Amino acid sequence: MKISAVKGMNDILPEQIGTQRPISAWQRLENACRVRFDLYGYREVRTPVVEETRLFARSIGESTDIVGKEMYTFSDRKGKKLLSLRPEGTAGVVRAFVQHSVHTRDPITKWWYGGPMYRYERVQAGRYRQFHQIGAEAIGVAEPAMDAELLVMLDRLLRDDLRISPLKLLVNSLGDRADRTAYVDLLKSYLKKHLDSLCEDCRRRYEQNPLRALDCKVPDCQPVLDEAPQIGESLSEPARRHFEKVLALLGEMDIELEVRPRLVRGLDYYNRTCFEFVAGGLGAHDTVCAGGRYDDLVGSLGGPRLPAIGFAMGVERLVMLLPEDPNLEPEGPRVFFVYVGEESLETCFRLMEEMRESGVSAEMDFRGGSVKSQMRRADKKGARFAIVIGETEIATRRVSLKELWREKARDEETISFDLLVDSVKKRLLMNG
Ligand code: HAM
């Protein structure tokens, strides 16, 4: 019986993770994040993949698609609690922050996290049911400089460190709760007049979550939505000043951006600044990073009334866009040992271990076979050097180092067993 992975949940095989040395695309992304986040004072936190369902309902919002349609929910063995696989990271991180009273030790908390998230969505390129996010949350600062710092950090990470191109930063302000309520009323009365010209989804959103209609991609809806009242016009004075200051600070840092009055997010906890980084070349699902402020969430989850802002990046989407690093080399062992006969297997085994102990990757194929077939395997593996050991080599305690990468191997010198590791290391240092 063959059992496959669940639809939309993918194995990430080594060749997808990347076939380059010293690190793969996934690791390159993770390392770049670690280094960047460290520069800005973020520390790593790991929270469980499973949380109580009500945590997500309360934070992301009952009427959102995520909570209403997309969560993997089940009761625990005793049937007492409803649990869900996390569809995103913010809710769990804030729960942990509140549960451990972190604010009593640290008035400003900056945490980052990464890992798999789960949403039962329609599976398409760039959209999966298990996907990975790397995100961060900064809790405790209401000032616009916090928003600006976070966006500068992301811009540097995505543009300078990861070289994602083309890339656009879209920003908007959703105002505060009261601004939003006033705006939703305004939007609803406008949409009501045009319901006949809107798609079925928009008509449903009109009832349940009118802001989401602004996000509709159906071409026929666009003329109505283009003319809709804009949230910017409903912002209170403090919210408007906040947004202006964020834009001014980003302008001073020469961060390119576009204000998108129709940008809203699919999660209810946002207020004030919200944003998305959109990349070219991904088709429909081209948002590689998204986030915003959520000043009421910590308080509504039973914590102190602390403002916060955060974001999450879609790892699968970014990995697809990472340009190849020309300095990286193909993956594969540095040295491949080829043996002829039982006695030489033991010698190879010992020398191979010596190589590895000194930091040089080495492999051999214990199944043996002809020298020709072992050499073919060395090639296929992408090895840099091959070393053949047979009776003569054992008798003289000398071997020759065969270059497999370069067109014309230089004269093959023979090297004594004792100097082999050092010679290989020297050759690797001299010409890469
Ligand atoms: P989100 O916009 O739902 O925000 O997701 C953030 C990113 O995760 C998206 O921009 C996308 O790159 C990736 N993503 C989402 N769903 C999928 C999927 N089905 N398949 C592949 N990638 C996906 C959040 O999750 C918020 N927690 C972000 C945040 C943190 N806001 C404040 N703090």
Q: Both tokens of residue 292?
A: 């915003």
| CB contact set of 310 (below 8 Å; sequence gap of 6+) | 90, 93, 135, 136, 137, 138, 150, 291, 292, 294
What's the 44 CA to ligand 1 centre distance in angstroms?
Answer: 18
pLDDT > 70: percent of the chain = 96
137 Cβ closer than 6 Å to some ligand 1 atom: yes
In short, whether 37's Cβ falls inside 6 Å of ligand 1 is no
Tell me the C-alpha distance between 384 and 87, whole Å: 44
Give every residue of the chain whose pLDDT is below 70, as ranges: 19-23, 327-328, 407-411, 431-432
pLDDT score, position 431: 64
Confirm if 149 and 40 have CB atoms less than 8 A apart.
yes
What pLDDT, on a 0 to 100 scale, did the predictor assign at position 46? 98
Probe ligand 1: pick from 133, 265, 316, max atoms within 8 Å of CB? Answer: 133
User: For residue 290, how far is its CA from the centre of ligand 1 (angstroms)?
Assistant: 6
Give tens-digit pLDDT for 396-430.
Answer: 999 999 988 876 556 577 899 999 999 999 888 87
CA of 233 to the centre of ligand 1 (A): 27
CA distance 136 to 111: 6
Q: Is the CB of 333 under 6 A from ligand 1?
A: no
pLDDT at residue number 285:
84
Handedness of CA 107, 108, 113, 118 (dihedral sign): positive
Other Cβ atoms less than 10 A from the Cβ of 324: the count is 9
316 lines ligand 1 (CB under 6 A): yes
Distance CA 333, CA 21 (A): 10
User: What's the pLDDT score for residue 147?
Assistant: 98
pLDDT for position 411: 59
Residue-by-residue DSSP string for 111-168: EEEEEEEE-----BTTB-SEEEEEEEEEES--SHHHHHHHHHHHHIIIIIIS---SEE
Of 326, 265, 259, residue with least CA distance to 292: 265
Residue type, 245: K
- CB under 8 Å to 48, separation ≥6 — which residues? 86, 92
Per-residue confidence (pLDDT) for residue 275, from 0 to 100? 98
Q: What is the DSSP letter of 226?
A: H
State if residue 215 touches ligand 1 by the CB under 6 angstroms criterion. Answer: no
Q: Is 344 in contact with 350 (CB distance < 8 Å)?
A: no
pLDDT at residue 34, rounded to an integer: 96
pLDDT at residue 266, rounded to an integer: 81
Q: Is the CB of 314 under 6 A from ligand 1?
A: yes
Q: For residues 202 and 191, is the Cβ–Cβ distance under 8 A? A: yes
Residue 429, pLDDT score: 83
Residue 127 CB less than 6 A away from ligand 1: yes
Q: Is 86 in the pocket of ligand 1 (CB under 6 A)?
A: no
Q: Cα(106)–Cα(99) distance, rounded to whole angstroms?
A: 14
| Cα(382)–Cα(14) distance, integer angstroms | 15
Strand pairing class (335-339; 385-389): parallel
pTM of the model as a whole: 0.88
pLDDT at site 178: 92
Q: 93: which 2 tokens? A: 């991180």
Q: What is the pLDDT of residue 432?
A: 55
Neighbours of 242 (CB within 10 A): 22
Which amino acid residue places its CA nearest to atom 8 of ligand 1?
314
Q: Which domains does the chain have, with CATH numbers?
A: 14-176+236-321 (3.30.930.10), 335-431 (3.40.50.800)
The residue assigned the tokens 């966006």 is 151
275 and 151 in contact (C-beta within 8 Å)? yes
The confidence score (pLDDT) of residue 371 equals 95
The CB of 176 under 6 Å from ligand 1? The reply is no
| Ligand 1 centre distance from Cα of residue 115 (Å) | 12
Return the closest-CA partner of residue 240 out of 248, 250, 228.
248
pLDDT of 22 reads 60
